[in-house]
Structure 1
Amino acid sequence: MKNSNSLPRKNSPKRMTVLRPLLLLSIALLTLSWTPNTNDFFSLYYQIINDNIKNERYEANIDLIQELKAKSGYQELDCYHKGKLLHKIGVSHYMLLQDDEAVTFYEEVAFNVWKDCPEVPISEMANTLYNLGVSYQYLNNWEPAKKYIDQSLQIIESLRDYPLLDLADKYYGIGNFYSLLNDYFRSQLYYSKALNIYEVLDDTESWRFILLNELIAMDINFKEFHKAKKSIEDALAIYDTYPNEIDPINLAKVYLNAGTTHLELKEYTNARLMANNALELLDELTEPFYYSIGLELVAMIQTEEGKLKEAENNMYRALNLRKALYLKGESQHAIAAAYENLCDILIRQGALARADQHLSHAFDMLLPHDDFDANHLPIIQTSRARDDEQLIRLMELKTKIFEAKYQNSQNVGFLDASLNVQHKIDSIVKRGLLSFQFQQSKLEFLEIRIAHYAKAIKDALRLYDLTNDVFYLNEAYEFSSKTKALVLQQELNRINALSTNTDKETVLEEQALREHMNGQQASLFEADEADKDSILQEYLIAQNRLDAFLQKVEQNQPEYYNQRYKFLKVPTLEETRQRIPKDLAVVEFFVAKDSIYSFWITKTQFFAKTAPFDDAVQDAIDTFVSQCNSPLQSISPAASQLLFEKTLQEGLQELNGNIDRLSIIPDGPLHTVSFEALSNGNNFVINDYAVSYAYAAALLNQENEMGQKPQWEYVGFGAEYSQQLNEKLKTSKRFFGDELLGQLTMSRQEIEDAAAIFKGVTFVNEEASLSNFFSHASKAKIIHLSLHGLVDFDDPYRSAVIFDDSEEVYLLSPQDLYKNRLNAELVLLSACHSASGKIYQGEGVQGMSKAFLLGGAQNILSSLWNATETSSLLLTNSFLKNIKTGEATDIALQKAKLNYLETATPSQQHPYYWANFIILGEVDSIYPKENSLYLWMGIGVLVLGFIFFLLFRNQMIFK
C-alpha cells in the first residue's frame, strides 16, 4: 500500500508540486523588477494582466493577448516589454494546466523575443528558462526540462547579487525535481544546498521545516525510514521552538509523513498517533486533499492490523473526496493512489473481481492516454507514465490478483500471466535506469527495486515445480541474472564506448570534466564547514557540465550512443557454459526477503536450489563473519555448518562429474562471507574446491582487450608509512572507525619476493607514491599493492588505497582510476578490507575492488579483512609462484591456502590468517602452463623418431 503523502509534490490537488511555488516566486520577482516605462500602453496592460493572475482570472489573459496583438501599441513595444507581456501569458496557461501552450509562450519569450534583446536583465532570462523547464516537466518531457532548469541555475549561480533566500528556494525546487526523477543522490545534494542557506539566514524556520518534510518524503520513497525519523525529529524540534512560525497545514504534512514512516517500520501505535494529530489540524471542507491523505493513512494502519472493513470504509471516504477535487480540475494521480490502496484491501478480503475493477480504474487515471493489452495492462513500449514507481506498484497488485486467482482455481495460466507482468516491470525498471548518467544515482534507484525481481524468481520457480518445464527454470535464472552488476556492466559499456567510438579529443574532454567533478567531490569530503557550501556549489556545477557534455556526445555521435546503451542481455545458459571450464560450477545467489535462491551451472547441468533466509541464517552470517575477522574468537561449528547447508550443501550433492572449482556470484549479505572457510562437518570447503568470485555471469572469461602490450610483467608498491599517518588521515577527515593503522614492516619483503618471481619493478616507501603509480601501473601485467586501505561503508567513493604519505597527495580513490586506464591481468590488493565496501543488493560491494575492475583490471586478489603481515606474505608469495607456473587464478589461490594450512601451527590455522584473500574476476590462467612447450616438443620428437623407426624397419624387410 502507498500513502499519497509520501509523494506530496506529485499528488497535490492545487498542483503546487515540485517547482510550482518557486515559479510563483519567479513571477513575483518579475513583477517587482518592472519599473514604470514611458510606454503607457505597456503599463496599462501589464497591470491588468497582473491583476488577472492575482485574482486567478487566467482565461481573461488568454483572451486579452489576442486583442492586444491586433493593436498598434503592442506592435510598437520594444523586445523587452513585449517579452514581459508574453511571459505573463505563459504563466496564465501554466496555471490553467495548459502546459503545451505555456511552453509555446515561454520559448517564444526565451528564443524569439528576448534572445537578442540587450535590455533583458539576465536574472529575468534565468527565471523564464526556469519556468520553461517546469512546463516541460509537466509534459513528462524530462530532458528539455532538465536542460532549461540547469541553464537557469548556471545563470543564477553566476550572479553575485542574487538574493540568498531566492537561491535557496531554487535549490529546494531543483531538489524536488530530481526527487521526482528518482535521482536520490542528486536530490539530496540540492536539498543540502538549500538547507545550508536556510540555516544561516534569519526568519527561515518555516522554510527549513518545509524542506525537512521534503527530505522525509524522499527518504520514505527510497525506504530510508530511519533517516526519515531523524528528519521528523528535526522538524518537530523546529515546531517546538517556533510554534507560531509553522503553518498548521505544513505541520499536518509532517505528521502525515511521520505516520507513514512509523507504519512502514510496523510501529502502529505511533503511526496512529501521528495520523490523528494530522486529522485534528485539518478540516475536511477547507483542506479535503490532505484530509483524504489522513483517512488513507488510517486505512493503511487498519489494513495492517487486519481491520479490513474499517479500512475499506475510510479508503472510500478518501476516494470520494479526491473524486470531487478531480471534477474541479485537480490532479488524477491521487485518485489512482486511492484506487490502488482499495485494490490492496479488496485482495486481502478475497473480493478479486472488485479489486480488478478498481485496479483498472487506477491504470486509467495514471495513464489516461495509453494503450492496454487484454488484461488491461499498459503496453510498456508506448507507456507515458509520469510516475514509474506508482506504475510498478499497480503492476505488482496485478500479480497478486493473478496469484489469488490461481489459489482459487489451481489454473497455472494465472501464474504464467503473473510472470508476464514481471517482465513488464523489468522493462519499466530498465527504462528508468537509462535516465541516469551517474553510478550513485543508478545504485540508489536499483536498490529499492530488487524486491520486484525476488517475486519474479519465486513465481518462475513455482511454475517450474508445477509444470517441470525447464523454460520456467531459465526464466527464474534470467530474472536473477538481470540484477547482477547491472550498473557495473553499464559503466564498462560507457567506458568502452567512449574509448572506441569517439575521437581522442572527446575522450580527453570527458576525462577532464570527470576529473574536475571528482576533485570537487574529494574536496567536499575534506572541507571545513565554512567552505562546504561553496565547494558543494562547484561540485554541482561540475556534475551538470559533465552531464550536458555526455548528452551532447550521445546526440552527435550515434556509434557511441548505440554501444553506450546497447541492451545488456543476460548470457544464455549455453553462452555461460561455453565460457566456463568443464571442472567448474558457477553458483549464482539471489537473496530475497525470506529465501536464498541459488542457480548452479556446469558444462552439463543446470538446476536451482531454494533455502529459507530467516533470523537464524542472518545470525549465522553475522557470527561467522565476526569470528573470521578475529583470531581471538573460535569459529562456531554450528554457524559455519548452517551457512554451508543453506548455501552449498544440496547443490554440491547434486553435481555430476569431476567438479572441483566453484565460481560464486554472491548477493546481499553473502558478499561478506568467505565461502572457502565454511565447514562441511569434516573439512573446510577450500580442501575440496578452488573458489573464485564474480560480479555477474556476463563478466566471466571475457576477452582481455588490453590497450597495449605491458612494459613490465610485475610492478609492486609497498610502504611502511610514517608515524604520523593516522593523524594525517584524521586531519584530512579521511579516517573511518576506531581502528588505527600500524606500520607495514614486511611490505618491502612482500613485494621484493614477488618481484623476484617475475623479474619485476618495485617501488618502496618514498618511491611508493601515487605519482609513480599513475606513471607505471598502466604498463604492467601484474600490479601488487602491499599497502593499507580505507573503507567507507556509507559512501563508496571515500574508500581509498593509501600510498606512501611523504607526499601531499597519497590516497588513491575509486575516482582516480578514471585518470589512467589499467591493462593489468591481475591486481593484488594486499590492503586491508580491499574487498569490502557498501553492499547494494544485486550490484554487490562498491569499493576498491570494483573500482579496479572499472579501471581495466581483469582479476583482483583482495582482502575481506585485515590479517597479519606474516600470513599475507606467505600467501601472496605462494599464490604468485603458482600463477607463474600457469595455474588458473582460483587454483593458484587454493594451492597457496592449502600449502599455508599444511605448514601453519594449529593456532595459525584459524580462517583469520588465510581466508581473507579472495580472487575476483576471471577463471582462467594468466600464463601458459610452464614447460608445456617443451613437453609438446618432446612428444613431437618421440613421434618422429617412431615414424623413422618404422620406415627403417620396413626398408630392411623389403631388402
Structure 2
Amino acid sequence: MFRLFLLVSCFSVPFFGAGQILSKEYHATIFESRNENIDFIINNRLKDSTSNESKLLLAELYFLKGRNDKAIDFLDLLANDEGMEKHANPELYARWLKNRGLVLWNQGKSDQALEYLQQSLSNYRKLDQLSQNNIADLLNNMGLVHVGNSPNIAVRYYEDALRIYSTSASENLEKIIQVSINISLAEINQEHHINALRILNQALSEWSNNHKKGLPTEAFIKANIGGVYLATNQLVLAKDYLGEAEMIYLQNYGQRNSELANVYAQLSELELRLGSYDKSLFYIQKALKANSFEFESMEYEENPKVDDANKLNIQLSLLMRKAVIFESFYYGYSLKKLHLESAISAIDVAERVLEDSRAGTTNKKDLLQLSDLASELYEDGQRIALQLHEVTLFGNEYLKKAFQYAELSQSALLKTAVVESEAQSFAGIPEAVLEKEKELSSELAYLNTQISLASEISKLNLLRDRYFQLKQEYQKFIERIEVNYPTYYNLKHQDVPTSIADIQSKLKPGEAVIEYAMAPKSNQIIVYWISNSDLTYYRIYEQNEVLRFLRAYRNTLIYNLGGSFQTIAHNLYNYLFPFKIGKNITKLVIIPDGELATIPFEALVAGQDKQQLDFHELDYLIKSFDIHYSYSASLYQSVQTAQYGSDALLLTPVEFGQGIAKLSASEQESKHFRSWCNQQSIPIESLVRSNATKERFKNSTLEDFRFIHLATHGTVDLLSPDLSGIYFSNDINRPDENILYVGEIYGLSINAELVVLSACETGLGKINRGEGVMGLGQAFAYSGADNLILSLWKVADESTSLLMQSFYRGQFENEVHSFSNGLREAKLAMINSDYSAPYFWAPFVLWGK
C-alpha cells in the first residue's frame, strides 16, 4: 500500500465550528463554501478584509481551498493585532487557536498542532453561551492529528465527537457523515480495509442522498475508497474511483490542490504496480504540479523549486516517491544510468525540502517525527548513490554522496544544538539576551516534564496553559533575536554538507572512523571506513540475523553468561567487521546506528580459539585499539578547540531512601576523584550526601565546570524517554524533586570537556530512527557536554568504583591526554584482575568528540 499518501491525515475533514459571538454571516459563509465555488467566495470577501473577523474568515476559506500559505498570512495578521487578546473577543481567540492548530497539522507539525487545539478546547469550554458543537468540532480535529500515529486514540476522539453531534442528529447529519469518513481513515491506518470500505460506502450513500453531485467531499470519499482498493490490489476498481475523484477536484479547485495531488500520487502507485513506469512518472509529475504554486513542467527529470510547494510534507513524500519510481524503472526495465541520476536528483531536492521543514519547526516531538521520515529518505539516497557508484567507471563522487546521506541520518537534533551554540558564539548576541534564552528554555523543559508527570486534571490544565503561554513568549523571543542579529540566523540555518576531505584532514595518524548505517528496506547494514587516506564501504547482509546475534551478545554480557560468550562475541565481530583493520590503526571512532549503540564493541572477540579460554585470555577488540563512540563523524570533529572552564563538579548522594539501594563504594570513588582534582590543581565543588540535591546541582554554575562526575543511580524509561533520569538525595524542602529528568537536562547549559555518569544504564534509552538512543547521554550532549562516559547495563558498585579510580589515575600522565586511552588502560587493568569478565569492565563507554 502506498502509505506516504493514503495514510497522511492532511486529507481528512476538519471542522471549524458554529459559535454565537461571531456573526451569523460568518458561519453562513463557511457553510456556503462547502457547496459553492470557493474562489468566487474568497474574491468577494477580499473586498473587506480589515476587521479581525474577516481576516479569520479568509484564513479559514483559504485553508478549505488548500492554500496553507494564504491561511498562514491572515492568521499571522491576527496574531500581531492588538485587538486579538482572548478577553476582547473570546470566541474569536478560541477559533484562531483552532485554525492555527489545523494549519500546523497541515504542515505536518502534529505535536505543536495538538498544543493549539488543546488550548482552543480549554477556551471553548469556558464559553457557556456557545453550542456544544464547538467542543465536538475540536474533538474531531484532535482525532485528525492523532490518526497518523495513534489511530486508536483518534477513534476515541471521533466517538466523543459523535456522541455530541448525535444529540441533534438531523441538524448535524453532514458532520456525522464526515466524522464517519475520518473513522474510516483510522481503520485504513490499522489495515482494517473491509471495515473502512463499509464505512466509506455508507458515507457516500448518505452524502449523495442529501447533497448535489460533484462537491469536494464526494471526491474525498471516492479518493479514499479508491485508496482502499489500491491497498488491497483491486486495481480496476481503484482506478475507477480515483478517476472520478480527479474529475470532481478539477471542477472545484482547478489543477492546483493538495488533495488532487494525493489522487495523482495514488494513480502513480497504481501504474507502477502494473509495470507502467512511464505512466507512473506521468502521474507523479502531475502530483508535484498540483502541490506547487508555479511548477508547470511535465519533463520527468525536472523538479519544482524547493520553495515552490503548497504543503512541504506532501512535496517531500512526492519527491521521495518519484525517486523510487525512477529506481524501479532502472532495475525493472531500462538499466539506464540516467534513471538513477534522475532518482538521486529527486532525493537531493527532497533533502532540501526536508531542511526547510526542519528550519520552520521548533517542537521536539515534531522534529523527531521528521527524523523518522528523514531516515527513510537518507536510506533511499544511500542505496541509489551506491548503485550509481558501482556503475560509474571513474571517481568516487557518488560514494561521497552516499556517505553524506549516512551522515545526515545521524543525530539531527544534536547537530542542530551544536550549530545553534556555535551561531550564538559568533553572532555577537549580548550575554543578558543569551541568559534570558537559557532561562526560558530551562523553564519550558521543566514544565514539559511536569506535564508528563501530572495525574490530576486540574493541575494538568494549569500546567498546559502555562506551558503554552511561555512557549509563545519563547518563540517570539527567538524571532526577535533572529531579526536583531541576522548573523545568528544565517549561521544557524546555513546548509553546509559534510566534506569527506575535511573529515580526513582532521583525522590523526593511526585514527579511523567506522560509520554504520542501518538499511531495513534492503535488510542490510552499510559500513563506511574512513582513514586519512581512504574512503570505502562494505555491505553487511541479513541485518535481521545480525540483530539477533547482537541481542544474544548483549544478554551474555548483562547476565554474565561465560559459557556461550566467546562464540557469540566472535561471530558478531565477524559480522560487524567484514574487513581487516590495517596494522597502522591504533584508534577506532565508531559511529553506531540503531541497536548497535546498545553494545560495547570493546568486548567483541576478534580471534577465535577452538578451546574455551578464560575471560582474561580472550582477544578482545579493546586489547588492540582505543575505542571512542560518536553520534556522527562531523560531531566527533566539531569545535576541537573549545574553551572550557577550570573547575570540576562532583555529585555523590550515596543514600537515596525510598527503598533505593545505597551506593557505599561511591564514597571511595568520590574521594579518589577529589584527590585526583587536587593533584591536578583543579578547583572542585563537592555535592555529597545530603548536599547532593537536584536544586543545588541545577543552581550550580554548570558552564564553569570542565569535569562533571555524577556517582549516583540512573533510571531508564523506554516508553517515555523524557522521563529517564538520574537520582539525587532527598531534599526535605522539595520531597518530590529527587530525579533530574532527561526533559530537564535538555534545558541545562553545560560547557564540560567530560561528564561521567557513573550510574546504571545511562547509555540506554528509546531508539529513535534518525536520532539514535534518546536518553541521558544524548540529553547531556545536547546541553553542552563534549565527552561522556556512559553505562550500558546495571553496573556493580565495587567494580565501577575501581574502574573510575583507574581511569582518573591515567589522565594527564602523558603530555597529550586521551580519554579513550585512559578508559582503555583502566579496562585492560580490570581484565587482568579478579574482575576480568566483560560484565564488570565493558558497560562503560566513551561518547563524544
State the partner residue of 1:40: none
- Describe how 1:33-52 pairs up with structure 2 within 5 A: none
Query: After the TM superposition, which of the residue ranges 142-151 and 848-857 deviates more from structure 2?
Result: 142-151
Say which SS state the counterpart of residue 884 (structure 1) adopts.
coil
RMSD value, Cα: 3.8
TM-superposed CA distance for 1:142, in Å, is: 7.6
Q: Deviations over 1:398-443 (max 9, x none)?
A: 2233224323222112111111111111111011111123444322
State the partner residue of 2:687: 763
Write the distance in 1 (CA, Å) between the matches of 2:321 and 2:701.
56
Write the distance in 1 (CA, Å) between the matches of 2:467 and 2:26.
38
State the partner residue of 1:476: 402
- Describe how 1:57-96 pairs up with structure 2 within 5 A: 96=41
Write the distance in 2 (CA, Å) between the matches of 1:853 and 1:54.
49
Write the distance in 2 (CA, Å) between the matches of 1:413 and 1:388.
27
TM-superposed CA distance for 1:844, in Å, is: 2.1
State the partner residue of 2:847: 920
Aligned partner (choices 821, 825, 830) of residue 895 of structure 1: 825
- Describe how 1:861-876 pairs up with structure 2 within 5 A: 861-876=789-804
Q: Does structure 1 retain, via aligned residues, the 8 Å contact 2:516–2:593?
A: yes
Write the distance in 2 (CA, Å) between the matches of 1:363 and 1:822.
45
Aligned partner (choices 230, 234, 246) of residue 303 of structure 1: 230
State the partner residue of 2:525: 596
Q: Does structure 2 retain, via aligned residues, the 8 Å contact 1:785–1:829?
A: yes
Q: Deviations over 1:556-603 (max 9, x none)?
A: 221222222222421x11211122223222111221223222211112
Say which SS state the counterpart of residue 449 (structure 1) adopts.
helix
State the partner residue of 1:723: 657
Aligned partner (choices 295, 299, 302) of residue 370 of structure 1: 295
Change over 3 Å in CA distance of 1:378–1:286 after alignment to 2: same
Write the distance in 1 (CA, Å) between the matches of 2:570 and 2:75.
53
Q: Does structure 2 retain, via aligned residues, the 8 Å contact 1:456–1:476?
A: yes
Write the distance in 2 (CA, Å) between the matches of 1:782 and 1:515.
21
Change over 3 Å in CA distance of 1:253–1:547 after alignment to 2: same
Write the distance in 2 (CA, Å) between the matches of 1:619 and 1:232.
36
Q: Deviations over 1:166-197 (max 9, x none)?
A: 76655433321221232222122233445567
What amino acid does structure 2 have at the position aligned with 1:603? Answer: N
Write the distance in 2 (CA, Å) between the matches of 1:154 and 1:588.
55
Change over 3 Å in CA distance of 1:633–1:552 after alignment to 2: farther
State the partner residue of 1:578: 505
Say which SS state the counterpart of residue 811 (structure 2) adopts.
helix
Q: Does 1:748 align with 2:667?
A: yes
Query: After the TM superposition, which of the residue ranges 818-827 and 535-544 deviates more from structure 2?
Result: 818-827
Say which SS state the counterpart of residue 606 (structure 1) adopts.
strand
Aligned partner (choices 321, 331, 339) of residue 414 of structure 1: 339
> Which structure is larger by alpha-carbon Rg, 1 or 2?
1
Write the distance in 2 (CA, Å) between the matches of 1:208 and 1:704.
55
Change over 3 Å in CA distance of 1:230–1:561 after alignment to 2: closer
TM-score by length of 1: 0.76
TM-superposed CA distance for 1:552, in Å, is: 1.3
Q: Does 1:881 align with 2:809?
A: yes
State the partner residue of 2:42: 97
- Describe how 1:151-170 pairs up with structure 2 within 5 A: 151=80, 155-157=84-86, 162=90, 169-170=95-96
Write the distance in 1 (CA, Å) between the matches of 2:30 and 2:73.
29
State the partner residue of 1:665: 591
Query: After the TM superposition, which of the residue ranges 809-818 and 768-777 deviates more from structure 2?
Result: 809-818
Q: Does 1:402 align with 2:326?
A: yes
Aligned partner (choices 315, 330, 339) of residue 264 of structure 2: 339
What amino acid does structure 1 have at the position aligned with 2:362? Answer: Q
Change over 3 Å in CA distance of 1:181–1:237 after alignment to 2: closer
Q: Does 1:140 align with 2:41?
A: no
Write the distance in 2 (CA, Å) between the matches of 1:644 and 1:864.
18
TM-score by length of 2: 0.85
TM-superposed CA distance for 1:720, in Å, is: 1.9
State the partner residue of 2:349: 424
State the partner residue of 1:180: 106
- Describe how 1:181-220 pairs up with structure 2 within 5 A: 181-194=107-120, 210-220=137-147
Change over 3 Å in CA distance of 1:157–1:135 after alignment to 2: same
Q: Deviations over 1:611-651 (max 9, x none)?
A: 235544444444444554444797666765554344x2204
State the partner residue of 2:769: 841
**Count of aligned residue pairs for this structure pair:** 812
Query: After the TM superposition, which of the residue ranges 276-285 and 295-304 deviates more from structure 2?
Result: 276-285
Write the distance in 2 (CA, Å) between the matches of 1:192 and 1:619.
42
Aligned-residue identity in percent: 19
State the partner residue of 1:35: none
Write the distance in 2 (CA, Å) between the matches of 1:573 and 1:280.
60
State the partner residue of 1:855: 783
Q: Does structure 1 retain, via aligned residues, the 8 Å contact 2:7–2:188?
A: no
Q: Does structure 1 retain, via aligned residues, the 8 Å contact 2:184–2:199?
A: yes
State the partner residue of 2:377: 452
TM-superposed CA distance for 1:144, in Å, is: 4.9
State the partner residue of 1:676: 602
Write the distance in 1 (CA, Å) between the matches of 2:183 and 2:771.
31
Write the distance in 2 (CA, Å) between the matches of 1:256 and 1:633.
58
Q: Does structure 1 retain, via aligned residues, the 8 Å contact 2:752–2:784?
A: yes
Write the distance in 2 (CA, Å) between the matches of 1:265 and 1:698.
39
Query: After the TM superposition, which of the residue ranges 578-587 and 475-484 deviates more from structure 2?
Result: 578-587
State the partner residue of 1:656: 582
Say which SS state the counterpart of residue 96 (structure 1) adopts.
helix
Change over 3 Å in CA distance of 1:633–1:98 after alignment to 2: farther
State the partner residue of 1:75: none
Change over 3 Å in CA distance of 1:684–1:302 after alignment to 2: farther
Write the distance in 2 (CA, Å) between the matches of 1:789 and 1:173.
42
Write the distance in 2 (CA, Å) between the matches of 1:627 and 1:280.
61
Aligned partner (choices 826, 831, 842) of residue 759 of structure 2: 831
Q: Does structure 1 retain, via aligned residues, the 8 Å contact 2:722–2:741?
A: yes
Say which SS state the counterpart of residue 448 (structure 1) adopts.
helix
Write the distance in 2 (CA, Å) between the matches of 1:785 and 1:129.
55
Write the distance in 2 (CA, Å) between the matches of 1:317 and 1:848.
53
Gaps of 5+ in 2: 609-618
Query: After the TM superposition, which of the residue ranges 830-839 and 473-482 deviates more from structure 2?
Result: 830-839
Q: Does structure 2 retain, via aligned residues, the 8 Å contact 1:129–1:152?
A: no
Q: Does 1:463 align with 2:388?
A: yes
Q: Does structure 1 retain, via aligned residues, the 8 Å contact 2:754–2:787?
A: yes
Change over 3 Å in CA distance of 1:866–1:278 after alignment to 2: farther
TM-superposed CA distance for 1:278, in Å, is: 4.2
Write the distance in 2 (CA, Å) between the matches of 1:105 and 1:545.
31
Write the distance in 1 (CA, Å) between the matches of 2:193 and 2:287.
27
Write the distance in 2 (CA, Å) between the matches of 1:597 and 1:490.
25
Gaps of 5+ in 1: 33-48, 59-91, 110-124, 727-740, 923-959
Q: Does 1:531 align with 2:459?
A: yes
Write the distance in 2 (CA, Å) between the matches of 1:613 and 1:685.
23
Change over 3 Å in CA distance of 1:93–1:307 after alignment to 2: closer
State the partner residue of 1:690: 626
State the partner residue of 2:151: 228
Change over 3 Å in CA distance of 1:197–1:6 after alignment to 2: farther
TM-superposed CA distance for 1:256, in Å, is: 4.1
What amino acid does structure 2 have at the position aligned with 1:478? Answer: Q
TM-superposed CA distance for 1:604, in Å, is: 2.4
Q: Does structure 2 retain, via aligned residues, the 8 Å contact 1:799–1:813?
A: yes
TM-superposed CA distance for 1:479, in Å, is: 1.1
Q: Does structure 2 retain, via aligned residues, the 8 Å contact 1:862–1:919?
A: yes
Q: Does structure 1 retain, via aligned residues, the 8 Å contact 2:438–2:749?
A: no
Write the distance in 2 (CA, Å) between the matches of 1:631 and 1:615.
24
Q: Does structure 2 retain, via aligned residues, the 8 Å contact 1:879–1:896?
A: yes
Q: Does 1:392 align with 2:316?
A: yes
Change over 3 Å in CA distance of 1:134–1:258 after alignment to 2: closer
Write the distance in 1 (CA, Å) between the matches of 2:639 and 2:4.
49
Aligned partner (choices 457, 478, 487) of residue 559 of structure 1: 487
State the partner residue of 2:611: none
Change over 3 Å in CA distance of 1:248–1:615 after alignment to 2: farther
